[in-house]
Amino acid sequence: MIQKEQPNEKKIAVISSQTASLCRFRMDMMRGFRSFGYQVIAVGPDPVEEWAQKFSLHGIQYYKISVERTGINPIRDIGTIIDIYRFLKREKPTKVFCYQAKTIVYTCLAAKMVRMQEVYPLIAGLGSVFRGTSIIEKVLKVILTLEYKLALRGSTAVIFQNNDDLTAFVDGGIVKREKCYKINGSGVDVEKFFPTPMPHRPTFLMITRLIKDKGVMEFLGACRIIKKESPQTRCILVGPFDTNPSAMSAEELQDYLDDQTVEYFGEQEDVKPFIAQSSVFVLPSYHEGTPKSVLECMACGRAIITTDAPGCRETVIDGINGFRVPTRNTEAIADKMRMFVEDQSLAERMGQAGRRIAINKYDVRKVNQDIFRIMKIQ
């Protein structure tokens, strides 16, 4: 149970609909808040007994709310708003940082109800609903746009991870330009993620939740092409199955395991050993905020193949630290993979360039300093 503090204490709540992402993507930022003398409370949907100790190791408290990451269920969504309202009313944080669609909308609405003055939502990438073309996705986009527009009126500033999303919100009349700030993704710890020797044979790696919007089917298809041409090539897939509507099924993956197209290692808490085994990282995603996995692999000196899609395109200078390919294009991915198979020194050269970009642009310390400036942390 979180102890009730005095209202005037410096306190920041960081709210997400995925508890694991608070650890993976926001821990450096939260530790930074603490260095400025703030009490920090991480807020997510998973059990306290599972997560409280992990956060407490860093001097951070954990509070559970009920929130579903996907789908629309009015009764449960109202319950989420009530949960967040009760949390804000009880804990009285001086600042709130929130990300992911549902927690942004419902936190901003609850903050209005308790008359909170400082709320900082982060748009960490627009999902398939926002850029989908089906009738259902178009209807959901209209609903989500209205929710964002209503909710973000009460925000202090709105933070974006790429220019495409910022432009979409401003041009769509969702938020005023003067409220918007752009940062370079979540950043990467360039001291924790560092170059290691390249493997002796071409090895392609993808780290992702197994959802089709991440381009996992295109990756597997390209791997199958390359493995037939060059059987000594390794292809590695790391990441969990997911409940997203576009999730890949275990049966679909099994087909690629049976013919040894890919080696699958499931969800891993530490991805560095797998990056060390690879020479090229592949992320053919249809849309991202700024992909953390790409930044980690760049910091480790690995070349990148990714798509010319929002969030992805900003991480790669085409032909310098990797290649950009069109979305949903298996053959284009295979063409670029083939270049690395035919010239193994290419991965080394591009990986070195990626490491320099990671240090100069994506160092988590620089990214967090931008966040602290926007949030007036001092």
CA-CA distance, 43 to 102, in Å (whole number)?
A: 13
CA-CA distance, 217 to 285, in Å (whole number)?
A: 10
Q: Are residues 107 and 44 in contact, defined by beta-carbon separation less than 8 angstroms?
A: no
Q: Are residues 298 and 186 in contact, defined by beta-carbon separation less than 8 angstroms?
A: no
> Who's near 354: CB < 8 A, 6+ residues apart?
297, 298, 299, 301, 302, 303, 304, 321, 322
What's residue 133's pLDDT? 66
CATH number of 11-187+364-374: 3.40.50.2000
Task: Count Cβ atoms within 10 A of the Cβ of residue 80 and give its class: 0-12 exposed, 13-18 middle, 19 or more buried.
Answer: buried
Q: Cα 158 from chain centroid?
A: 17
CATH number of 203-362: 3.40.50.2000
CA-CA distance, 378 to 355, in Å (whole number)?
A: 31
How confident is the model over 179-209, as pLDDT tens digits? 999 999 999 999 999 999 999 999 999 999 9
Greater confidence (145 vs 300) lies with: 300
How confident is the model over 276-294, as pLDDT tens digits? 999 999 999 998 889 999 9
Residue 239 pLDDT exceeds 70: yes
Domain(s) of CATH 3.40.50.2000: residues in the chain: 11-187+364-374, 203-362
Q: Which tokens hold the place of 26?
A: 């926001």
Greater confidence (142 vs 183) lies with: 183
Can you tell me which residue has the tokens 């993620």? 193
Contacts by residues 62-65 (CB-CB < 8 Å, ≥ 24 positions apart): 62/19, 63/2, 63/13, 63/87, 63/91, 65/15
How confident is the model over 48-97, as pLDDT tens digits? 999 999 999 999 999 999 987 665 667 888 999 999 999 999 999 999 99
Kindly state the helix (H) or strand (E) to which residue 159 belongs, with its residue range.
strand 158-160
Can you tell me which residue has the tokens 């926002």? 130
127 pLDDT tier (thresholds 50, 70, 90): low
Task: Tell me the range of 8-17, 110-119, 237-246 where mean pLDDT is highest.
Answer: 110-119
What average pLDDT is seen over the chain? 93
Q: Are residues 137 and 145 in contact, defined by beta-carbon separation less than 8 angstroms?
A: no
234-238 and 303-307 strand pairing: unpaired
For the chain, helix (H) and strand (E) counts, in that order, are 14, 13
